[in-house]
Homo-oligomer: A and B are copies of this chain.
Amino acid sequence: MRVKELLLGAAYYNEYMPYERIDEDLELMKKLGFNTIRIGESAWSTWEPKDGEFDFSKLTDVLEAADRHDMNVIVGTPTYAIPSWLARKYPDIMSINKDGQLLYGHRQYFDITNEHYRYHCNRIIRKMMQAVCDYECVIGYQVDNETRAADAAGPDVQALFVEKMRAEYPDIDDFNKEFGLDYWSNRIADWDDFPDVRGTINASIDAAYRRFLRYCIADFIAWQADIVREYAKEGQFVTHNFDFDWRDCSYGLQPLVNQVAAGRALDVAGADIYHPSQNELTGAEIALCSDIARSIKQENYLLLETQSQGRFNWLPYPGQLRMQGYAQLSGGANSIMYWNWHSIHNSAESFWKGILSHDLEPGYTYHELSGFTTELEGISRHLINLRKNNKAAILLDHVALTAFDEFKNDLKVDYNDLVKRIYDACYEMNLECDIIYKSAKLDKYSLVILPGLYSVNDMLVGKIRNYIENGGHIIATFKSFFADRELKIFADTAPHGMTDVFDIKYDMYTKPGSATVMFDDGQEFDINDHIELLELNGDSVPWARYSHPYWNRYAAVTHSKYGNGSATYIGCMCSKAAMSKTIRRVAMIAGIQLPRYQFPLIRRSGINDLDECVEYIFNYSMENNTIICEHGCKNLIGGEHYDMGEGITLHPWDVAILIDDEDE
């Protein structure tokens, strides 16, 4: 979705406030240059304190104040956290998972397919929409929040699942065969014998169940969006707040949600991106998650949550808040919404701090933000609606992600580890990549990277072969082209359907032990996990071999011309440096030009509404660093002009935003 102005603001929870201070808060926000707040999504029990009794006063108080202060509002439906009376009324609402039935208390612990839950969702959403939709300040709606299926596996959900499997496999023998159910006597002759999925040892069934749960989430979001649209006024958008895999920060593809599927029902994708800070601020997490967020609807998205402080170790160093904001914009965000305005005085997230600390006074964070937003004011029209024009793409896939988990065995790395390693390698050499999925058109890219594309079907194999034949370049890693949709491993030579393209085959893989990757130029790199022992066919060139007493006759990285393009295969979980070396070589072959500088100097760029090429240059470092201008340009910040060949020195945690002004 394109915006007319940058949305700048924070989540605001009037209902959590220790005392009444809406006007004071909105004034503080306005002073900060904020123009938008996000409200309403967490407090169902406040809006409906008893079954059927509604009280939106704490919500409408804010809307009225927002109208007064000319502040935009995004209203969220409150359905991701239910009131206790609802759980009490329908005990079966709480999810039954592998550990038994969850107790009421935590958000997202209920079964989103439950009919009673849906009944009450429907009612609260309609009541809320009636209460809010007429306020002028309301610019859009967020349906639910970070939706989860809570690993629900109660009888009703399982019945739905079995029904779905049955529809996909009308002949139960096909089902048994595809899932290999003869193994350990798991075969069923009758769908009624389908055992409790929580006990299954069949990794493919578990994977199918996880796919089913992702389907339930997409279905639920679409259902909510439909209800909301019955009330939404012209110009009000519908969004959802998507998150990512989580490892103490946002980290790669969200395993539990198929965001592309769920995003179809939305006008614009929303996302929350939480990332390391202080010495660990590299921008890589922001960049990866931005690129994923942009991929949901293949356009700009709304950043609905990010930290101003967040956790203990994220208190930003001076200058970092500004840098983080620009990093978000450089990925295509059309908003920066902090979570949250004020630190919470009780309950569970008191130390996930907001812009205001518990004293509710403008302090360090407020003042840091203030500097940033003042600077933004003059330039934000250059920064919104950024269009990317990337020549490279990384193809992500939920089925592959699940496969890595389900068929883990001794594998130490998981899918997102691999994705992150490859993404980080690209990021650090300033090779900007789109995130794409199996359904994507490949032709617009010179280079497509396939990290662990475990599961493929013939159509996809055909598409990829075609792409290469027509001049495309791909890099695939170990565990690509390995299994079908249900993760049944192909019974022919690996990599399936691609042996002639890569000009390799393999039937052995093992742990690396002491093995290293030795490139043809003598450079040697570490391996962290898993080595496939690649045998060369015909014309394939071994860019690297394993250095190992017994496996040194096998290739580790191979490159093969095919048609007008090329296919490169990385056979092991090698170090980031080895990934980098390989990607850099292929990028050169694919005709992609990379800047001479690299991390900690990061370039992120795109085309803005004015058709200017906007280049962000970040210095993720505690030292000064200098780049040499490759063409005449102007720094949007400050307006200084630089000639081609001139150096631009960036201070620690500093950023320049360059636009071409050759012809000015």
Contacts and interface: CB of A to CB of B under 8 A. Distances in A.
A486 to B, nearest CB: 8
Contacts of A193: 83-85, 88
A581 interface: no
Chain A: number of interface residues, binned into ranges = 35 or more
Contact of A185 (B43, B179, B180, B315): B43
A151 to B, nearest CB: 14
Contact of A348 (B105, B187, B201, B509): B201
A392 B33 CA distance: 53
Nearest to A359: B493
Contact of A180 (B84, B188, B201, B346): B346
Nearest to A108: B184
This chain's copy number in the assembly: 3
Interface stretch (A14-22, A265-273, A383-391, A641-649): A14-22
A309 B511 CA distance: 12
Given A196-B104, A360-B491, A351 B185 contact: no
Nearest to A652: B549
B179 A508 contact: no
Given A105-B195, A185-B42, A489 B346 contact: yes
Interface string A165-190: 00000000000001111111111111
Interface stretch (A2-10, A44-52, A599-607, A655-663): A44-52
A87 interface: yes
A182 B361 contact: no
Nearest to A49: B189
Contacts of A105: 186, 195-196, 199-202
A577 interface: no
B204 A488 contact: no
Nearest to A277: B510
A490 interface: yes
A149 B50 CA distance: 34
A358 B479 CA distance: 13
Interface of A: 13, 15-16, 18-19, 42-46, 49-50, 53, 78, 81-85, 87-88, 102-107, 109, 178-190, 192-196, 198-204, 278-279, 309, 311-315, 317-318, 343-352, 357-361, 363-365, 407, 409-411, 486-494, 507-511, 513-514, 530, 549-550, 622
23 contacts: A13-B182, A15-B182, A49-B189, A53-B189, A81-B185, A83-B185, A84-B186, A103-B198, A103-B199, A109-B199, A180-B344, A183-B344, A184-B348, A202-B346, A202-B347, A204-B347, A311-B410, A312-B510, A317-B549, A350-B489, A351-B410, A358-B491, A358-B494
